[in-house]
Structure 1
Amino acid sequence: MSKKVVEVKTLKVGKYVILGGEASKITSLTTSSPGKHGAAKARLEAVGIFDNQKRSIVKPVDTKVDIPIIDKRVGQVLAIMGSEVQVMDMESYETFELPMPDDLKDQISEGIELEYIVALGKMKIMRTK
């Protein structure tokens, strides 16, 4: 599991964070000003990359959170097997199967190149080239 630790105040909308053990993309981030005896708080809402679950947390801005190391790679489609796509990585030439995303069904065909991401040991097709 490749991840690193940062403070909540350094996060931005559109970046990634690990919430509930899942890599998630931040959709909104609001901070409240500190009170008389308290610290400033941040409310963070994010959507999971792999499961599309909405997650939110409220933490002090100086709290440390994990962020995933997202590896973007290029692969070539070797075969389409129903709802699965057999992909060969263009750098290491290893082959593996990934689920076909519903929004890219009409764009994916054998022989084309596509971009996929690897995060926390999971893989997902992002777009075609």
Structure 2
Amino acid sequence: MNTSPQDIGSIQKSDFVVLNGRPLKVVEITHSKPGKHGHAKVHLVGIDIFTGRRYEDVRPGGHMIQVPIVGKKDYLIVNIDSDGYVTLLNEGTCNIRSDIKLNNDADVTRRLLDKYHEGDGQIKVTVLKALGEEQIMAFKMID
């Protein structure tokens, strides 16, 4: 199960929601009062957590919206190959994985590659997972 239903009225800024099948972080939410002919409306603005694309939607208040189950995990970088695939080490279990490809459009990728090519120490990355998709979202140097 990648999502769970939640009342749209309880969604707040910086919560995660699913719109158009994409996991979004809510950056703006406004509630309108009920009109003469209908429900209160909820206006959502969200940014896709993987692509950075902006989405907007208006939904009736009191309805349900899907909320993605978002996971975060830290890994150490072992290698980055020429195709952009990253070999990662899970410190806790000593498992290695090589199935995450760098997002060439992301600013974090450019900064990460610069640090990797400098070769000064270990790099720890944070991988975000939602709706079956995974991407490196942040990194830090460790001594």
5+ residue gaps, structure 2? none
The residue aligned with 2:107 is 103
**Alpha-carbon RMSD:** 1.8
The residue aligned with 1:11 is 11
Q: Deviations over 1:29-71 (max 9, x none)?
A: 0111112332110011111112222211111111101000111
Higher deviation after alignment, 39-48 or 89-98: 89-98
TM-score (norm 2): 0.80
C-alpha distance in structure 1 between counterparts of 2:60 and 2:91, whole Å? 43
Q: How many residues align?
A: 129
The residue aligned with 1:32 is 32
Identical positions, percent: 25
Does structure 1 conserve the Cα–Cα contact (< 8 Å) formed by 2:85 and 2:98? no
The residue aligned with 1:120 is 131
Moved over 4 A (4+): none
Q: Which structure carries more helix by proportion?
A: 2
The residue aligned with 2:88 is 87
**How big is the shift at 1:127?**
1.1
C-alpha distance in structure 2 between counterparts of 1:91 and 1:20, whole Å? 35
Does structure 1 conserve the Cα–Cα contact (< 8 Å) formed by 2:87 and 2:96? no
Whichever of the two has the greater Rg, that structure is 2
The amino acid across from 1:99 in the alignment is K
5+ residue gaps, structure 1? none
TM-score (norm 1): 0.87
